[in-house]
Amino acid sequence: MNKPATPHREDLDPANWEQRAAQPVLEEGQDQILERSRKIVDAAYELLDEAGLEGLTIRAVLTRTGLSRRAFYERFGGKDDLVLAVFEETIRKAVRFFTERVASMENPLEQLRLIVTFIVLGRGIQGEAYTDRRGAALSREHLRLAESRPADLKRALQPLVALIEQILADGMAAGVVRNDDPRRLATLLYNLVSTTVHSELLTSENAQVDQSKKKDLAKDIWEFCRRAISA
């Protein structure tokens, strides 16, 4: 029996972006530091949902939060750092969600199928019509930061890649995943899925998401991944 994959310790502790945001202002109370930092990141989520990347400006964040420019720059070096914090928070929530969902599943391939499917479907898993402005915006930023801040982006994404790596290692031990370097295989799998998802999001940035099409895409991507990793 395979133990459900669990996230690494750092994925359960306060997010890395929270720790970095707190360092310049340690003279304040820790609760106040985290509250203001989360307020900024929450505002970024809302602005991305409402208007996409064009709506995410530092001025808009300050207006939404009621914080001063000084309060923002004490916690984030600029917009890139804020976007990276959004990535980290998104990945942290996803890893927690995936870990809970796969906990009762014994087959590592089924665990991976669930994760791949949920990544592709995104908010569409809820079955509601929506325009994924935030997803398209983060896709653009993912591609840009992969060039301008590759190490920081890799760090933000690492918890999800690590979870996939652990499940792959469990699958190899169970004989259902072909023997290979699990970290390398996890990176390849994540890159394949994320690149395809980014492409889909960018081509339908301002349109209602075709959920039927996304479900078919999720099935196709998983079948491709399954054949690539199966023993």
Q: Are 145 and 152 in contact (CB under 8 A)?
A: yes
pLDDT tens digits for range 181-208: 999 999 999 999 999 998 888 876 666 7
- Count of alpha carbons within 13 Å of 70, Cβ hemisphere only? 1
Q: What is the pLDDT of residue 180?
A: 96
Which tokens belong to 166?
């652990």
Q: What is the pLDDT of residue 202?
A: 80
Is domain 9-229 given the CATH code 3.40.50.10470 in the classification? Answer: no
pLDDT tens digits for range 216-231: 999 999 999 999 999 8
Q: What is the pTM of this model?
A: 0.81
Q: What is the pLDDT of residue 19?
A: 61
What amino acid occupies position 109?
L
Q: What is the pLDDT of residue 32?
A: 73
Q: Are 226 and 117 in contact (CB under 8 A)?
A: no
pLDDT tens digits for range 31-60: 677 888 899 999 999 999 999 889 999 999
Question: In the chain, what are the domain boundaries?
Answer: 9-229
